[in-house]
Amino acid sequence: MAEKTSTGNFFEDFTLGQTITHATPRTLTSGDAALYTALYGSRFAVQCADSFAQKIGYACAPLDDLLVFHTVFGKTVPDISLNAAANLGYADCRFVNPVYPGDTLSTTSEVIGLKENSSGRTGVVYVRSTGRNQHGGVVLEYVRWVMVNKRDPESPAPETVVPELPETVPAELLGSAVPPLQIEGYDTTLAGAPHRWGDYTPGERIDHFDGITIEEAEHQMATRLYQNTARVHFNQHSEKDGRFGRRLVYGGHVISMARALSFNGLANAFHITAINGGRHVGPVFAGDTIFAWSEVLAREEMEGRSDIGALRLRTVATKNRSCLDFPYKAGDATFDPSVVLDLDYWVVMPR
Amino acid sequence: MAEKTSTGNFFEDFTLGQTITHATPRTLTSGDAALYTALYGSRFAVQCADSFAQKIGYACAPLDDLLVFHTVFGKTVPDISLNAAANLGYADCRFVNPVYPGDTLSTTSEVIGLKENSSGRTGVVYVRSTGRNQHGGVVLEYVRWVMVNKRDPESPAPETVVPELPETVPAELLGSAVPPLQIEGYDTTLAGAPHRWGDYTPGERIDHFDGITIEEAEHQMATRLYQNTARVHFNQHSEKDGRFGRRLVYGGHVISMARALSFNGLANAFHITAINGGRHVGPVFAGDTIFAWSEVLAREEMEGRSDIGALRLRTVATKNRSCLDFPYKAGDATFDPSVVLDLDYWVVMPR
Amino acid sequence: MAEKTSTGNFFEDFTLGQTITHATPRTLTSGDAALYTALYGSRFAVQCADSFAQKIGYACAPLDDLLVFHTVFGKTVPDISLNAAANLGYADCRFVNPVYPGDTLSTTSEVIGLKENSSGRTGVVYVRSTGRNQHGGVVLEYVRWVMVNKRDPESPAPETVVPELPETVPAELLGSAVPPLQIEGYDTTLAGAPHRWGDYTPGERIDHFDGITIEEAEHQMATRLYQNTARVHFNQHSEKDGRFGRRLVYGGHVISMARALSFNGLANAFHITAINGGRHVGPVFAGDTIFAWSEVLAREEMEGRSDIGALRLRTVATKNRSCLDFPYKAGDATFDPSVVLDLDYWVVMPR
């Protein structure tokens, strides 16, 4: 019987160069967009209003970038991380084409690195995952690495290959999901704030002020919407005896919450064009209240584009602690115990 | 940094005659309609079925009136009521044009009254808010007044102006969001009850019988769907030390729940055409069970319309108490402690 | 006043041969599909992706069969089972035509059996319910029987008529909701598993492995989405003094959860074509974690179809107990106390 039920891949099941076509292509619709709004309350005008998006040159309001990310990511879980002990990191994540309601997304992954841990019980798998639309066009690409359990600690270790990954996505690769814009049609009043790209300065820090409490039903509905099957988010019967005694909130849910909160202070950062790296610093549970703040790390022009410019941001999310005083690291390395997310990414803004 | 983060307007920031264009136009879709059904279980046939709506003359099923109200209202919160101490009332609310899936709504407000309170710490702001569709057509107009904190109790008081507001929306202004109907196509069996406009009598009281318990995840998802950013609904971390020790349910969520419950007894009241006034008499929290009853206050013909007539209703919602015996006021003025909503509005019904 | 409020039918209100047209036709949209995904996380490719469905011959991704079932069923509740003491069973349930986003469903029921119980306080009502689309085409037909309270124990008993019902839907009636498929376009990798119809053997048992915990907000939103008004699911104020002291999860919610879980092991069982019978063996409450396993009862060819074949399955759902060892009955008749659902149905799979 066991051969019909999938219990996921173990470290030994991955080989360098292996390509995996993940199951269940998914048509995203205005229904998913509405649910996304209900889950996070995001208010970026380009994604919320067809009329606003069309006035600047989109076919209609594109779907939220993180809805696209979570959908593409969710498909990889049954093959890559069902037996993961930890999600270690993301890198080189680029949003390549816009996604509109009605588009169907599917995902493939390539194994680009393998490294057994010294314990012999786990290993790190590096995959480059690619999301494509129904026309075969790439919409999203990213690398993640995950610590995966071995089925058998005695099985031999593969040759160690650790891919070289860019610390940041270079500015020349940004913005490809944004069509050429009639930026004079961009109404900052309707968008929610007057501050354009040029108004932000590297080093500037912004408290996003509000806090939102997460409920079990919310993160479960979100994570199922993304068809992410990681068990730790759904099964209280087993988690009550697990590491935390309770269900863990999907890290991507926290990213989306922080992004929605960041509207207050970054209202014109209408598109995430790349994610340089991200760490889920601490676990989040239902009942936790998420706050966020951001720092401008860099401001870059984009080749051939006078309509938009790029800002590199660090957004930090905390739980159960206001971000008025920008909590981050205590000393050089240790995070403030309230910090749950440290995300380094590029947004675009109208110039 | 503070200049990028909005903390909302204080009483001193409002001036008479000021017009505010609120952020984030919002395209409402069949996705929002589905969520609205999931949140309240509303069963009015005109809003639930394209085929039913088309048979009587609509282009397709229009969106629920209160979904329109909450969306238009939600946009005003970041500018008008983020620093409100209390929502005091609504008046002169009229639904002017139908809203269909795919329409994009935006809101402007005009400050029509200001009155500092004797304490010097707060003042009342009166605004007339107007929701428009992507063609500039008015879909909704209403007045509300809110008690807003002053930033500085020492700042001087503005001249007191209190607008004159109609006690009820007059019958000649009703019904403009209802296209001329082929009322012979209206099937009362499919609509759920045989009682038409002429079957209701002023003074008649109707218990809507059922009760529905509200959960935190539900009211949070609803309130985010409307992009209403009032903090008291979302932030348990701060509310645990606040007035109630917990999150407060958005008053509009209770209005929508009462309206959905009112289907049992008012199945053919397929459209709210105006709200004369409303008071949130008591706070509602997750875990409370909402019941409702209605009284027919008036029955009016509508000029030039033989298809539909108007009923003026009072709908009273209670928490944790059946409405079998129509709880309302104990004596002349004090509400029964179970009462949470007292809403005076006009519906239309087929004749 | 009482005549406006419906409190549902009692046993005396039903007569043999009576036909009931249920209220509130309902247009199902991509919004409902998105919510369905968020509620259960279902991953069958045909229902998830337009491109996948079109490649094998559907007009676009059809709606999930159980979303159709719950919608058609929900309409019957206000007329049939508002005063039910127990839902006793289902039989002869057939999915006759596919349902696509934009279709509007309505339901009629015929009373095909009546039997007063010996206590004189209740009776069993048998109804055949039929769901139709906006063109009048039948999409779903099923029989259910319910124990309904009498209004007055003294009222006379009707003549006893118990309909003869098929133990299983015969193979020649299966598959009519599946258009002729270009089965060579069916990609088992994208669908999630290599096992086709011929790979399953009667007697084979499959553990679906995962467990999902149900929250109050989730089952309430689901049940309202289906416009099912059974009070026991929604009203904590009255249920706290009821049989269980708390709200009961709609049995259909558990069926949908078990079906979604069954993807792991039955990924190519892309359509439920008939339900032979089902029993809700035990009550389910918020906080319970649902697991499921299935047994293949039969494998049948379908007349005139070389594209698909039928499998008869028993799917058993448990609460708070893994299904690794296939819990079912202890001895001949008594169910294991963890079992909450015993469902006997036909699915189709590509050959």
Partner-chain contact C48 A34, CB within 8 Å? no
Partner-chain contact C217 B213, CB within 8 Å? no
Same domain as B73, residue B7: yes
* Distance (Å, whole) CA B114 – CA B184: 49
Whether pLDDT at B172 is above 50: yes
- Give me B351's structure tokens: 């004749």
Residues of A in Cβ contact (< 8 Å) with C286: none
- Rounded to an integer, the average pLDDT of B277-305 is 96
Query: Looking at residue B246, what is its pLDDT?
Result: 97
Domain housing C217: 11-178+188-350
Q: Which of C5, C24, C104 sits opposite B43 (nearest CB)?
A: C24
Same domain as B72, residue B176: no
| pLDDT band for position B1 (cuts 50, 70, 90) | very low
Query: Looking at residue A86, what is its pLDDT?
Result: 87
Please give, rounded to a whole number of angstroms, the shortest distance from the CA of A107 to a CA of chain C: 10
Query: Looking at residue B330, what is its pLDDT?
Result: 81
Backbone φ and ψ for B110, nearest 5 degrees, come out as -120, 135
Residues of C in Cβ contact (< 8 Å) with B39: 221, 224
Partner-chain contact C213 A227, CB within 8 Å? no
Q: Is A247 on the interface with C (CB under 8 A)?
A: yes
Please give, rounded to a whole number of angstroms, the shortest distance from the CA of A242 to a CA of chain C: 14
* Distance (Å, whole) CA A237 – CA C213: 7
- Give me A187's structure tokens: 């109404």
* Distance (Å, whole) CA C271 – CA C159: 39
- For residue C243, how many C-alpha atoms fall within 13 Å in the half-sphere facing its CB? 9
* Distance (Å, whole) CA B282 – CA B293: 16
Partner-chain contact C191 A24, CB within 8 Å? yes
* Distance (Å, whole) CA A48 – CA A36: 11
Partner-chain contact C27 B51, CB within 8 Å? yes
Partner-chain contact C38 A35, CB within 8 Å? yes
Same domain as B259, residue B247: yes
* Distance (Å, whole) CA A170 – CA A67: 23
Domain presence at residue C156: yes
pLDDT single digits (tens) C208-250: 999 999 999 999 999 999 999 999 999 999 999 999 999 999 9
Please give, rounded to a whole number of angstroms, the shortest distance from the CA of B85 to a CA of chain C: 29
Whether pLDDT at A2 is above 50: no
Neighbours of chain B (3+ CB pairs under 8 A): A, C
* Distance (Å, whole) CA B187 – CA B113: 46
Query: Looking at residue A1, what is its pLDDT?
Result: 43
Which residues, in sequence order, are bridge partners of residue C302?
Answer: C305
- Give me B121's structure tokens: 């710490």
Q: Which of A215, A223, A235 sits opposite C211 (nearest CB)?
A: A235
Between the alpha carbon of residue A334 and those of residues A319, A339, C160, the distances in Å are 16, 10, 77
Please give, rounded to a whole number of angstroms, the shortest distance from the CA of C207 to a CA of chain B: 31
Neighbours of chain A (3+ CB pairs under 8 A): B, C
Fill in the amino acid letter for A138: V
Distance, C-alpha A270 to centroid of its chain: 15
Q: Is C138 on the interface with B (CB under 8 A)?
A: no
Whether pLDDT at B2 is above 50: no
Percent of chain C scoring above 70 in pLDDT = 99
| pLDDT band for position A268 (cuts 50, 70, 90) | very high
Domain presence at residue A247: yes
Q: Which of C29, C216, C264 sits opposite A5 (nearest CB)?
A: C264
Partner-chain contact C5 B189, CB within 8 Å? no
Same domain as B267, residue B232: yes
Please give, rounded to a whole number of angstroms, the shortest distance from the CA of C328 to a CA of chain B: 33
Domain presence at residue A192: yes
Q: How many helices (H) and strands (E) does chain C have?
A: 8, 14
pLDDT single digits (tens) A43-67: 999 999 999 999 999 999 999 999 9
Domain presence at residue B257: yes
* Distance (Å, whole) CA A21 – CA C87: 44
User: In chain C, which residue's Cα lies nearest the Cα of A30?
Assistant: C31
Distance, C-alpha A256 to centroid of its chain: 7
Between the alpha carbon of residue B236 and those of residues A36, A215, A216, C279, the distances in Å are 21, 11, 14, 41
Domain presence at residue C183: no
Neighbours of chain C (3+ CB pairs under 8 A): A, B
Domain presence at residue B262: yes
Same domain as B326, residue B254: yes
Q: At what angle do helices A30-40 and A251-261 cross, to 10 degrees?
A: 80
Same domain as B181, residue B148: no
Q: Which of A7, A29, A101 sits opposite C209 (nearest CB)?
A: A7
- Identify the domain boundary among B165, B184, B203: B165
- Rounded to an integer, the average pLDDT of C115-135 is 97
Q: Is A26 on the interface with C (CB under 8 A)?
A: yes
Q: Is C135 on the interface with B (CB under 8 A)?
A: no
Q: CB contacts < 8 Å between B and C, how many?
A: 142
Residues of C in Cβ contact (< 8 Å) with B218: 217, 220-221
* Distance (Å, whole) CA C144 – CA A196: 62
Same domain as B173, residue B156: no
Q: Which of C5, C216, C223 sits opposite B264 (nearest CB)?
A: C5
Same domain as B185, residue B302: yes
- Rounded to an integer, the average pLDDT of B296-322 is 97
Q: How many domains does chain A have?
A: 1
Fill in the amino acid letter for C92: D
Same domain as B181, residue B104: no
- Average pLDDT along chain C: 96
pLDDT single digits (tens) C314-325: 999 999 999 999
Q: Is C324 on the interface with A (CB under 8 A)?
A: no
* Distance (Å, whole) CA C105 – CA C102: 10
- Of A245, A225, A262, the closest CA to residue A35 belongs to A225
- Identify the domain boundary among B108, B140, B165: B165
Whether pLDDT at C1 is above 70: no
Same domain as B282, residue B216: yes
Same domain as B322, residue B264: yes
Please give, rounded to a whole number of angstroms, the shortest distance from the CA of B307 to a CA of chain A: 34
What number of other Cβ atoms are within 10 A of residue B173's Cβ? 17
Beta-carbon contacts of A280 under 8 Å, excluding residues fewer than 6 positions away, are: A87, A251, A254, A340, A341
Q: Which of A34, A52, A265 sits opposite B29 (nearest CB)?
A: A34
Between the alpha carbon of residue A64 and those of residues A54, A270, A328, B218, B229, the distances in Å are 16, 9, 27, 22, 19
Interface of C with B in 102-131 (CB under 8 A): 102, 104, 106
Query: Looking at residue A331, what is its pLDDT?
Result: 78
| pLDDT band for position C2 (cuts 50, 70, 90) | very low
Whether pLDDT at A292 is above 60: yes
**CATH number where B118 lies:** 3.10.129.10
B142 in Cβ contact with B91 (< 8 Å)? yes
Query: Looking at residue A333, what is its pLDDT?
Result: 78
Partner-chain contact C235 B216, CB within 8 Å? no
Query: Looking at residue A163, what is its pLDDT?
Result: 98
Partner-chain contact A265 B5, CB within 8 Å? yes
pLDDT single digits (tens) A310-348: 999 999 999 999 999 999 998 777 999 999 999 999 999
Beta-carbon contacts of A233 under 8 Å, excluding residues fewer than 6 positions away, are: A219, A220, A223, A247, A248, A249, A250
Q: Write out the E strands in chain C.
A: 19-21, 26-27, 84-95, 104-116, 122-132, 138-149, 205-207, 212-213, 271-280, 289-302, 305-319, 329-330, 334-335, 339-350
For C170-198, give one letter per residue: b (16+ CB within 10 A) or e. ebebbbebbbebeeeebbeebbbbebbbe
Q: Is A137 on the interface with C (CB under 8 A)?
A: no
- Give me A204's structure tokens: 């500037």
User: In chain B, which residue's Cα lies nearest the Cα of C136?
Assistant: B51
Q: Write out the E strands in C136-287.
A: 138-149, 205-207, 212-213, 271-280
Partner-chain contact B222 A189, CB within 8 Å? no
**Which DSSP state fits A231?**
G
Domain presence at residue A3: no
Q: Is B234 on the interface with A (CB under 8 A)?
A: yes
Partner-chain contact C40 A224, CB within 8 Å? yes
Domain presence at residue A340: yes
Percent of chain A scoring above 90 in pLDDT = 96
User: In chain C, which residue's Cα lies nearest the Cα of A7?
Assistant: C209
- Rounded to an integer, the average pLDDT of C23-45 is 98
Rounded (to 5) percent helix, strand, coil in chain B: 25, 30, 45
Partner-chain contact C30 B30, CB within 8 Å? yes
Q: CB contacts < 8 Å between A and C, how many?
A: 142
Q: Is A306 on the interface with C (CB under 8 A)?
A: no
Whether pLDDT at A220 is above 80: yes
Helix H or strand E encompassing A77: helix A65-80
Query: Looking at residue B55, what is its pLDDT?
Result: 98
Among C213, C262, C270, the residue to mutate for chain A (most A Cβ within 10 A): C213
